[in-house]
């Protein structure tokens, strides 16, 4: 089920919230938790019930292992550190093996076919929604259970932690210790009208971002990448910027809707998005973009590899390994590996630059950072390597330049140099609104108060109510179809 669907907004969400608080009001707290688990499983199964057994099996397996690890100091065979580490290693391998089978089997087979000239049949497995997120969430739990920082002996609690519907399909990636105390809090079991108001406010901010902004930019981005081989300079940059803004408003919109839906249930999910296009360095960008994924990669990959504890060369290698694997996590394609490699290399370059004591003016630093991000998103969006190369060549002007026809009267001298005059956005289906929309989107991303600040400064009143209703109406009027969120594919 999609957050931006009418079924979710007018049926699933209000019914789930109402029943949850009704059960708690009658002190049926266990039934209330069970209701949230059942609702979350229905939310997941709405897409394809065939993958529900997979999720339930994953939850049961990881709960059993986590219980053994967290109670291992007094559990006979798991009393030794070696046995506990062996169990943890096996469990992590099992989780990654499951993820690898569904997400990377065809990628592996395809590359074997190319490398060896073989003809293995591809499996064409449909990727279960959310598998990357609930797998990482559970791996984090197992590592924390092994470290003794969390302990969960209640299967219902653990199921709620994993399946809680606001985060289930595209994050944030959660820690048990930041979530379960909230569900067990007595104050969280009573309907809180302030949380309900702020939650609705956040939800419709995200809804507007997704439906009115991200889906609008998607039309130009999709057309542009579909015709990357023949785009002219202005078309290529417009298409790439459209995707950069589509991804921004799509992901931040999802995050706002997830945080808003959770807050209606008195649950505060961790902030996962904090105006990343304002970043003045690549390090700053990763402190703002997909914050919980950055935290996971740091705590469970970069630091275990050695972090920055073993000298500069080892640190650079750890950064590269972390981001190459982070790129591959996003998708089974060499374009994602290239994207991760470029970001890893940029972080190494930033670290070297900082160690040499060099500085750059903040505006120039932002300009370099933003354009690097925009260029590398090309690899993130492209369906294959050829499409990425075509788009970058077009952005370099290798397919020529088309300027508006009316400029031909003034700039006709440029015609012998490969400049043509006509419709400068024809191949991406652009119109008079395209460039103003991109300018407005950049303005919002760079200068407007973000959702975290708006939620923090929320004040109930007529103006806030009118603003929220306007966002909702604007979103519904802009919605021509129900489109998936981009991170559902990862």
Q: How far is CA 13 from CA 70, 256, 257, 468, in A?
A: 34, 15, 11, 17
Kindly report the length of the chain.
Answer: 490
410: three-class secondary structure by DSSP: helix
Cα 373 to Cα 310: distance, rounded to the nearest angstrom: 29
CA nearest neighbour of 19 among 3, 1, 40:
40
Backbone φ and ψ for 59, nearest 5 degrees, come out as: -65, -45
Question: What gap in Å lies between CA 482 and CA 217, rounded to an integer?
Answer: 15
338: helix, strand or coil: helix
Residue 40 and residue 13 in contact, taking contact as beta carbons nearer than 8 Å: no
Rounded to whole angstroms, the Cα distance separating 454 from 450 reads 6
Concerning whether 350 is annotated as a catalytic residue, the answer is: no
Long-range contacts of 103-106 (CB under 8 A, 24+ apart): 103/127, 103/131, 103/132, 103/332, 104/328, 104/332, 106/332
At 179, phi and psi to the nearest 5? -110, -50
Listed in sequence order, the DSSP H helices in 169-290 are 176-184, 193-208, 215-226, 233-264, 282-286
User: Which of 290, 330, 343, 350 is the catalytic position?
Assistant: 330
CA distances from residue 114 to 102, 110, 120 in whole angstroms, order as listed? 20, 6, 10
Kindly list the catalytic residues: 330
């Amino acid at each position: 089920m999609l957050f931006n669907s009418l079924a979710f907004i007018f049926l699933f969400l209000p019914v789930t919230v109402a029943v949850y608080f009704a059960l708690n009001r009658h002190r049926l707290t266990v039934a209330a938790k069970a209701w949230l688990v059942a609702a979350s499983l229905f939310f997941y199964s709405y897409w394809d019930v065939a993958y529900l057994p997979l999720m339930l099996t994953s939850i049961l397996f990881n709960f059993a292992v986590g219980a053994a690890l967290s109670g291992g100091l007094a559990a006979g065979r798991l009393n030794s550190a070696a046995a506990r580490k062996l169990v943890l290693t096996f469990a992590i391998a099992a989780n990654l093996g499951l993820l690898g089978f569904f997400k990377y089997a065809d990628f592996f087979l395809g590359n074997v076919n190319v490398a060896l000239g073989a003809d293995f049949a591809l499996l064409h497995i449909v990727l279960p929604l959310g598998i990357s997120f609930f797998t990482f969430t559970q791996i984090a739990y197992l590592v924390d259970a092994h470290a003794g920082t969390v302990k969960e002996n209640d299967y219902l609690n653990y199921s709620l932690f994993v399946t809680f519907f606001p985060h289930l399909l595209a994050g944030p990636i959660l820690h048990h210790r930041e979530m379960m105390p909230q569900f067990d809090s007595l104050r969280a079991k009573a309907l809180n009208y302030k949380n309900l108001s702020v939650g609705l406010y956040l939800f419709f901010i995200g809804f507007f971002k997704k439906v009115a902004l991200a889906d609008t930019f998607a039309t130009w981005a999709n057309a542009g990448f579909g015709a990357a081989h023949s785009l002219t300079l202005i078309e290529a940059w417009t298409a790439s910027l459209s995707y950069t803004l589509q991804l921004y408003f799509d992901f931040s919109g999802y995050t706002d809707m997830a945080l808003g839906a959770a807050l209606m249930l008195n649950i505060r999910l961790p902030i996962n998005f904090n105006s990343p296009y304002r970043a003045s360095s690549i390090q700053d960008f990763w402190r703002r973009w997909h914050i919980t994924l950055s935290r996971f990669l740091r705590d469970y990959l970069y630091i275990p590899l050695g972090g920055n504890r073993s000298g500069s060369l080892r640190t650079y290698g750890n950064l590269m390994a972390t981001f190459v694997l982070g790129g591959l996590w996003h998708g089974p394609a060499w374009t994602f590996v290239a994207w991760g490699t470029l970001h890893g290399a940029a972080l190494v370059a930033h670290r070297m630059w900082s160690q040499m004591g060099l500085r750059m003016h903040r505006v120039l630093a932002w300009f370099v950072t933003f354009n690097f991000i925009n260029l590398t998103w090309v690899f993130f969006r492209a369906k294959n390597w050829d499409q990425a190369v075509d788009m970058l060549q077009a952005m370099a002007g290798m397919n020529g330049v088309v300027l508006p026809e009316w400029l031909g009267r003034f700039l006709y001298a440029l015609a012998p140099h490969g400049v043509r005059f006509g419709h400068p956005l024809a191949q991406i289906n652009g119109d008079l609104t395209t460039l103003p929309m991109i300018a407005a989107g950049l303005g919002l991303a760079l200068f407007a108060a973000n959702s975290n600040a708006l939620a923090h400064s929320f004040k109930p009143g007529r103006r806030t109510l009118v603003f929220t209703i306007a966002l909702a109406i604007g979103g519904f009027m802009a919605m021509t179809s129900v489109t998936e969120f981009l991170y559902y594919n990862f």
